[in-house]
Amino acid sequence: MGTDLSDNLVIRVLKELRTYPRKGLQFFHWASKGSNYKHNTVTYNALIRILARRDSIAEFWGVVDEMNGEGFEMDIDTYIKVSRNFQKFKMLEDAVKLYEIMMDGPYKPSAQDCSLLLRSISSADGQDLSLVFRVVNKYEAAGYSLSKAIYDGIHRSLTKVGKFDEAEKIMKAMKNAGCEPDNITYSQLVFGLCKARRLEEACKVLDEMKANGCCPDIKTWTILIQGHCDANQIDDALMCFAKMVKTCEADADLLDVLINGFISQNRVDGAYKLLVEMVNVVHLRPWQATFKLLIEKLLGKRQLEESMSLLKLMKKKNYPPYPEPFVQYISKQGTVEDAMEFLKALSVKEYPSIGAYLHILESFLEEGRHTEAQDLLYKCPHHIRNHPKTSQLFGTKSTA
């Protein structure tokens, strides 16, 4: 190459090869052969960062063993990057094994790193409880006391898989350690009970919370109401909602849960009434996605008037217009009056854009409804009728 190798050069090359980890490994081995250059902690850490992928995991562990044999250590920054990469791609067995190695070394992960790892394990489908206890046992073996966050991490995993007796023991141990259960702890229990369809017990948890001086917050109530919706018990969900509003204000997340619950039961009218009431009475600002979903469902039931009302509410809440489902509906089965009402509701200006008019005019023509297209054109403002694009549209369509 005509140049002396240095740490900086090796690291730069490895970074460029990060999407080709095996080539990076070949370069790494080549660099230390036939020259005076020797690898060190810095270059080993650079290499294991690019090897920490599912398609090169065997090479990763081989280099970790080689690195330890050379007397080098993985630094904490590399550990954090690699561990979070493993967690992101659900390589949890590897993440736990790496955690155990680091806890036996001089650069121990923090309590926060332990808590994050436990959260990743609990969020995995078909989670392995043995991984949870491997992490916790290694943490305690290093001489650390369990924190509230780590107790919650154990409790979360147990409740998610329905191990409620074991979860109760963890809560008792938490209390004995001076860590009082809070909304996070109780919400995990509510979630687990709802998942197991033990809804009555889940409701009683909120009573237990209040008795212990812990007021359920909006997240706890949302989990409980979501559980009832998932079990198709919408009326019971509404009863929970009625209890909740005595102490908590609803938010867009909770409204979305309820709207989806109604829709799953094909109770679109109930969803519409609830949303309108929450906007007009409580002055709640629903998510844009909630508006869109309900508009689509209402149009699917040919309830154009209600859909139009939601479009106007979206405009009041400063959301961008949502014309697509209206254009599709009106062009197929709507009237010219429907089209005019839609165009009026679409814009905050005196007149919608030329594009809005062209969109619905063209849709009428594409559906073969030339009479409706012409009638709508006559009702359009003068500047729309005389616009070159309008003339072009009708000239093209008329000759087709």
pLDDT at position 23 over 60: yes
pLDDT at 159: 97
pLDDT at position 2 over 70: no
pLDDT at 35: 73
In tens, the pLDDT along 28-40 reads 999 988 678 999 9
Is the pLDDT higher at 125 or at 264? 264
In tens, the pLDDT along 344-394 reads 888 765 678 899 999 999 999 999 999 999 999 999 999 899 999 998 998
- How far apart (Å, rounded) are the C-alpha atoms in residues 260 and 263? 5
Q: At what angle do helices 21-31 and 41-51 cross, to 10 degrees?
A: 160
pLDDT at 346: 84
Q: At what angle do helices 218-230 and 234-244 cross, to 10 degrees?
A: 170
pLDDT at position 275 over 90: yes
Domain range for 354: 323-400
Q: What is the mean pLDDT of residues 82-107?
A: 97
- Residue 369 belongs to a domain: yes
- Residue 248 belongs to a domain: no
Q: Which segment of 155-159, 201-205, 292-296, 379-383 scores lowest on mean pLDDT?
A: 379-383
Q: What is the mean pLDDT of residues 182-188?
A: 98
In tens, the pLDDT along 238-269 reads 999 999 999 999 999 999 999 999 999 999 99
- Residue 400 belongs to a domain: yes
pLDDT at 400: 36
pLDDT at 10: 95
- Residue 216 belongs to a domain: no
- Residue 25 belongs to a domain: no
- Residue 217 belongs to a domain: no
- Residue 328 belongs to a domain: yes
Per-residue pLDDT band for 396 (boundaries 50, 70, 90) equals low
- Residue 61 belongs to a domain: no
Average pLDDT for the chain: 94
Give the number of domains in the chain. 1
